[in-house]
Amino acid sequence: MRIALITRDKPGALQVRLDNRDAHLAYIAETNVVEMAGPFLDADGTMCGSMIIMNVDDLAAAHTWAKNDPYAKA
């Protein structure tokens, strides 16, 4: 089942995002369920959210994946 996960960063969270980016990208690679992903950019070109397309067994698996994403834990 394909799921689109759409997130928005909290205001002022760019540094938190940058600090956790490597772990987030490693998590994507390790879990092997993400088909496409990328950041949303604001008018200034600054990352402010994400869209992740994943292929998982069910909605519960998508929730679990999202909960364990380093960005969510930051």
Q: What is the CATH number of the domain that holds 30?
A: 3.30.70.1060
Question: Which residue has better confidence, 11 or 74?
Answer: 11
- Quote the number of domains for the chain: 1
pLDDT at 74: 83
What is the distance between the alpha carbons of residues 59 and 62, in angstroms, rounded to a whole number? Answer: 5
pLDDT in tens, 9-44: 999 999 999 999 999 999 999 999 999 999 999 999
What's the predicted TM-score (pTM) here? 0.89
Closest by CA to 13, choosing from 66, 68, 70, 71, is 71
**The tokens of 52 are what?**
């992740």
Structural domain including 11 reads 2-73
Q: What percent of the chain has pLDDT over 70?
A: 100
What is the distance between the alpha carbons of residues 18 and 16, in angstroms, rounded to a whole number? Answer: 5
